[in-house]
Structure 1
Amino acid sequence: MNWQLFGEVVVTLFVIMDPPGTVPVFLALTGNRRPAERKRAAWQAVAVAGGVITVFALFGRTILDYMHISLPALQGAGGLLLLLVALELLTGKADQPDTAAAGNVAMVPLGTPLLAGPGAIVATMVFVQDSDGGWDYLALGLGVVVVLLSIWASMRFSVLLLRVLKESGILLVTRIAGLLLSAIAVQLVADSVRAFIAGAG
């Protein structure tokens, strides 16, 4: 197996998907749910992220070309979606129990576009394009699995913080997560606009 490619995949996706960085967002979105629901949300988010990455790794270029969608457009759409979620966290709307079910939260925004966002999708597509043969694909697949498992572990064991933070702490984490998420969203949109300008220039 190509261990060098494996290491490159793990490091690249770990930096992009940022497992520790998902903890405050996960706590903010699932802090008011039962422990069983939070555990299920962690698994669902990882499963959705893995599914999205796999689909784009196999058919990403074909899908985007068929629908005439550029990578900057995908990046901008992901940024706008994250911005909507960030505004809900900042204004307190996400604290309302009837705003979304745990499964919906796990799929959007946790599974995608937060975890399986434009950065992770593009990086995986590039790795697939540069791979040569079955052993490279095996290394790529194992690298993705390792990163997804680290994300699951971060979210799964982050619930231990709930016992320390209590309700007021969760409220603080929610607001901080909203601020960080809004910054990520603005950066995605800004990168998208910059790519459009560079392409037009």
Structure 2
Amino acid sequence: MHIAPSILSSFVTLFVTIGPVETAVVFASLTAGIHREQRRSLALRSVAIAGVVLFLFAVGGALALALLHISLPAFRVAGGVLLFLQALTLTFSSPGLSTLSESEKHDARQPGDIAVFPLAFPLIAGPGSLSAAVLVMGRTDGWVEASGVIAMLIICLLLTLGAMRMAERLIALLGATGADVVSRISGILLAGLAVQFIFDGLAQAALLHA
């Protein structure tokens, strides 16, 4: 079965920005001591909420940019820079709660439902993955490629849900070192994709063709 390079690239971009393994590590830290059934419910609801928002960004991102008079090349450059910064975090930071800011960690430890915050936002549907959803959809050509990108998004979300539900076993299998290696490899891949988005944006900018 032939898979278009753009669809495969979209999968890699969405996978490393959503980060199923990193999400599972944080999920395990935040839900330690919570009953297994409640953890499953939290995982399902957080992925569902994040999925809806990511889908809306993917299908409606271009329209929102047009309403704000932001060209797609400009957003590609801005999104590429944002993804590159996330790549640096993945490459040089330790996995786990380092994904969240100090204030977000404090709020996450308070009693209450954490499905929306911080699990759905900003852990799964964070600035990087939301920007990636708009960027990968923006370079599709026709409904076939667009459908392929949506399918890749769904697959990434299902992988994230699976990783969250098996968080304890996944952490036991990978260990701290394994999770760190996955995070750094993801950061390297994301850095390359981010730079490519910047190059594509600059190549399409009218300023460079003047």
Q: Give the TM-score taking structure 1 as reference length.
A: 0.63
Q: Which runs of structure 2 are paired with 1:14-53 in the superposition (5 Å)?
A: 14-18=11-15, 22-34=19-31, 35=39, 36-53=41-58
Letter in 2 for 1:76: V
Q: Which runs of structure 2 are paired with 1:149-164 in the superposition (5 Å)?
A: 149-164=154-169
Change (3 A) 1:193 1:59: closer
Corresponding residue number in structure 2 for 1:123: 136
User: Is residue 2:125 matched to residue 1:111?
Assistant: yes
Structure 1: distance between partners of 2:73 and 2:9: 27
Letter in 2 for 1:22: G
Change (3 A) 1:144 1:56: same
Change (3 A) 1:64 1:175: farther
Q: Deviations over 1:131-186 (max 9, x none)?
A: 4xxxx4xx666545433332222112223543434568453344224313432453
Of 70, 77, 97, which residue of structure 2 is paired with 1:72? 77
Corresponding residue number in structure 2 for 1:98: 105
Is the contact made by 1:47 and 1:111 (CA closer than 8 Å) also made in structure 2? no
Q: Which runs of 5+ in 2 are unaligned?
A: 32-38, 109-113
Is the contact made by 1:50 and 1:116 (CA closer than 8 Å) also made in structure 2? no
Is the contact made by 1:83 and 1:181 (CA closer than 8 Å) also made in structure 2? no
Structure 1: distance between partners of 2:71 and 2:150: 28
Q: CA deviation at 1:10?
A: 5.9
Identity of aligned residues (%): 11
User: Is residue 2:88 matched to residue 1:83?
Assistant: yes
Letter in 1 for 2:136: A
Change (3 A) 1:154 1:100: farther
Secondary structure at the aligned position of 2:30 is classed as coil
Q: CA deviation at 1:110?
A: 2.6
User: Is residue 2:191 matched to residue 1:182?
Assistant: no
Q: Which runs of 5+ in 1 are unaligned?
A: 1-6
Structure 2: distance between partners of 1:88 and 1:161: 23
User: Is residue 2:71 matched to residue 1:58?
Assistant: no
- How many residues are aligned here? 186
Q: CA deviation at 1:13?
A: 3.6
Is the contact made by 2:76 and 2:201 (CA closer than 8 Å) also made in structure 1? no
Letter in 1 for 2:58: I
